[in-house]
Structure 1
């Protein structure tokens, strides 16, 4: 993901959560290293948004179904599906294609059961690709090999198709500058000859920077962010996926320049001497390199497919207030200063469609209090078109202290609602499935009890579809089966009259859906609306009634 977690936790967490020594005092206290990084290596968002007018009324009228007000929550609900180190998917390297496909379907079915509407899938975890790319070798986490051998199928095409079949948005998650994992466990460092023969860093060794890996012996290989040709190549390699596949979003986490290691500087002096002359110092130059990548990706994505969303999940602290009056009331690693990510600028410049800060700390944590950071981020997006989602730390449930309380995430989601947050993304899929201490079931019952439509974005193309016509509704052993006709819609929303309102009970792609929660002891009425690619809703259909069983 996207993602960064506190150094204190990043440094003491491997996949098995084995403690290791930390180097920086503040990092120890707050956790400046990405837990996701550590793991890898080894309200409700908007209040109910009513759909457009129905039953032939004007578009500005309140939508109604069978005389009842139609209501649908609008919030992004998602989870990160991590491929590096086989954390979530595939469960191990080199699985047979059908086994890997079955596992992925299982993750999507989990998302549907939890009433999510999006998945964020790691498709470029480390300078590689989960599609047949002209720019990057096949990922070893899929194939089990570093030789770039074709696995014989196209995972990206499959994953996007399966997600859309369940009406889940598919956000392709990229790590831009990662060039390769530590070459050997316990070895002295990376070797280019251990990369796939087609790896671009073997053809361009002048683009390579090596930097120590905090979680295991050896170093990582990076594309040098300060070399314009390397940056352009990295952009092209990611945009290839946008051009070739029907993705709904492009997603980065917080891995641009690496998190700092004590006593180690990122060795880019030669690039700075060549390209950084107009900058006062190397730090300003590095920040500009990252800003340029973000700005150019924003522009280029929209030039290719204006409806594709662009979002980043940064480390939760931009700057501390004691460093900068505009900063947050925190005392931890600062992404602006330590990893050269000026996240506040990206929001203020509106280069992003959404931002997902990783608020991986509990309510009341003295150095990075969730309840204080959340309003800082809400204020940061205020007045912009950038939507605020929150990265939730499902992986921390069960840790000592506040995380032993299964209600912690429930309370965080309640705070999100009060501050107008537009959704949440949970790290990661394995933790959502594990449901430690019943915490996932708890917050799901309180906040995700029914389905939700994704929030609309005014900056994206809008073409609300024509009114659908319901062609059939019948009870069977599985519930109530509905069919309809609808032209020009990317997806459909189904409303059922329940008491004093018509509530959203399901979404679908295609021309039919089964309401498996339909009560059998009373007559029911349904309406259907169409939504465009950006989630903009057309008028509701005329209602159709179904007798009780």
Structure 2
């Protein structure tokens, strides 16, 4: 087929040089920009909600479960995981500060056997698939009622002065104690320093929910009296809130001082206080009962992203869009507002639609940095309806994590891009970067016809394979960008892809003599000739061309060169003729100025046109039409401009007359 004989001519356009490296990135932007939207899911380990499925699984079983979960998110075009690594002052990673988690091995303090570091495993697997990994910690919970017996390695036993027991069996670290704050900061900063994480995340558990303590007040009388004894003047509620505020602010500053790109995210209870905003009815008051001043943290910018848990339905009394708008109005420093949403256990079509609608509402209300966090991963992976609805709907296209310009607004330099023909109908795009460690993802933009699209590639990827034609349209442009850890996208390396034909034999290949000077022109039409002498496929075409040139430049014609710009032998070999920017010459009455002349060797008044020669003619016309911007609609023949000739012969002219050549060229150019 004609298409299989196409290869690609790649022209790389670069900007003018400059003493500043960034200046070399100047290039026109692609028509399409990759979507930026935070798409995350919580992975809960407390009570083995999501992973591992139960305590005590083998290392291989744990890793297999993890890969299935991570792959499912990748396949659904998620780009972040919020992974719980500290459910009860323990660790799902190797720590010198806290014991191995009961939820991992079934025994608190016992390492996996064979040994591996689960957090390191999750980070590597996530990053290799283009997903960020945010570590999720519960800052104050010391022991959960599902967490097995309290062991000697537990903070309950090792730091008894920092913990209190609640009436429902939980143990809680006292947030007001400096020792609690120091230990919590040490745990977080240990993670930040030792692991290649993308974020640190707290949920809504600060002071415990009242139900954890039988609806009684938090048992911190000892620390409260000590505060008063030292002259403290705050009310008990303000004192508790101040303790949490100091902890949040301190953590944010220490994270940024150590690794500025690591995001700090909080996911508080979805409503700030009853009646705020006014249409919202009375209800749970996190400010007064969890002592969480979530509005203050957002107002002060002590977070990089904020994920209030807006689990209520869109049309409920606790309206999703009303609450989201209220939080957005409080987002005065323009941090990311990525609400938490929940499918719950109801996977019906109605509830699935509710989730999709929340995603679309968020896009509409926060277009500059949309995104949501899904509670929780199993509500997606165990719901085929939900997974199908996401990937066929709002998550059909892959997306980057939105950038965080307050952390870093400097994009990486653009990648270096190389191209090569992979096969007759494929092109390989390869790229590299002078600072690959600065790159987290790559974006390859491409254009078929008038339609732009893109693919997002992961940090270790270095090539893409694209088809020459897709859905009947030809590949025309490719652009590659680099994206760093904070979501900054580089300028693009822009490539124009032009159709050409395999093996055009240059003038030197048929021993052409040097042309004489002749008038220049700009081709605006394509005109087909035949050479006029009967030929055989086994004839030496190169020798024949040399003879035609010598004859034409002789005293009989006195032409400046061989009269045609390209010539095609019976076997489909294409030869370079005179310079395309030099007008052709003819023995008939028409002026060939402005005509790009293509000659098929042979006499097609007498002989049939071989299929190889006809295919080559179509490919060559498509090539010159695109390369020299000569409209293919102008294709005509010598006889259409001169009454003195039958050129290019009735058998070749028939393919012009019935529209075959023009239709085939059009198909290649679409």
Q: Which has the higher contact order (CA 8 A, sep 6+)?
A: 1
Is it true that 1:301 corresponds to 2:250 in the alignment? Answer: no
CA distance in 2, matches of 1:493, 1:225: 44
Instruction: Tell me if structure 2 keeps the 8 A contact 1:505–1:515.
Output: no
Count, aligned residues: 471
Task: Tell me how far apart the structure 2 counterparts of residues 107 and 472 of structure 1 sit (CA, whole Å).
Answer: 35
CA–CA distance in 2 between the matches of 1:156 and 1:502?
38
Match of 2:395 in 1: 448
CA contact (8 A) 1:493 1:507 kept: yes
Preserved CA contact (<8 Å) 1:344 1:380: yes
Please say if 1:508 is aligned against 2:487: no
Determine the structure 2 residue equivalent to 1:415. Answer: 361
Give the CA deviation at 1:513: 4.4
Counterpart in 2 of 1:530?
482
Does 2:392 match 1:392?
no
Aligned mate of 1:427, from 375, 386, 409: 375
Aligned partners of 1:136 and 1:199 also within 8 Å: yes
CA distance in 1, matches of 2:324, 2:465: 36
Query: Residue by residue, what CA displacement relative to the aligned partner does 1:38-96 show, whole Å, maximum 9, x if unpaired?
Result: xxxxxxxxxxxxxxxx953997999646xx51311111111111111221111221111
| Structure 2 Cα separation of the partners of residues 483 and 246 of structure 1 | 26
Distance 1:478 1:397 in 2: 47
Deviation at 1:222?
1.1
8 Å Cα contact 2:412-2:490 kept in structure 1: yes
Corresponding residue number in structure 2 for 1:247 = 197
SS in 2 for 1:300: helix
Distance in 2, matches of 1:88 and 1:535, equals 28
TM-score normalised to structure 1 length: 0.79
Written as runs of structure 1 = structure 2, the 5 A alignment for 1:65-464 is 68-149=30-111, 151=113, 152-182=115-145, 194-213=149-168, 219-261=169-211, 263-276=215-228, 277-321=231-275, 329-366=280-317, 368-381=318-331, 383-398=332-347, 404-420=350-366, 422-435=370-383, 438-464=385-411
CA contact (8 A) 1:318 1:327 kept: no
Asked if structure 1 preserves the Cα contact closer than 8 Å seen for 2:76 and 2:390, the reply is no
- Aligned CA RMSD, in angstroms, stands at 2.9
1:463 and 1:532 in contact (8 A); partners too = no
- Which structure has the larger Rg? 2
Q: 1:89 to 1:384 in 2, by over 3 A?
A: same
Q: Which runs of 5+ in 1 are unaligned?
A: 1-53, 186-193, 214-218
Contact kept? 1:472, 1:483, Cα under 8 Å: yes
Q: Is the 8 A contact 1:464 1:531 kept in 2?
A: yes
How far 1:377 moved relative to its partner? 1.4
Does the Cα contact within 8 Å between 1:492 and 1:529 map onto a contact in 2? yes
Q: What residue is the counterpart of 1:49 in the other structure? A: none
Do the aligned partners of 2:15 and 2:24 also contact (CA within 8 Å) in 1? no
Using structure 2 for the length normalisation, give the TM-score: 0.66
1:535 positional shift: 1.4
Counterpart secondary structure, 2:338? strand
Map Cα deviations across residues 427-463 of structure 1 (whole Å, 9 max, x no partner).
1111111226x23422443311111111111211344
Q: Unpaired segments of 5 or more residues in structure 2?
A: 1-12, 17-21, 500-667
**Does the 8 A contact of 2:40 with 2:372 survive in 1?**
yes
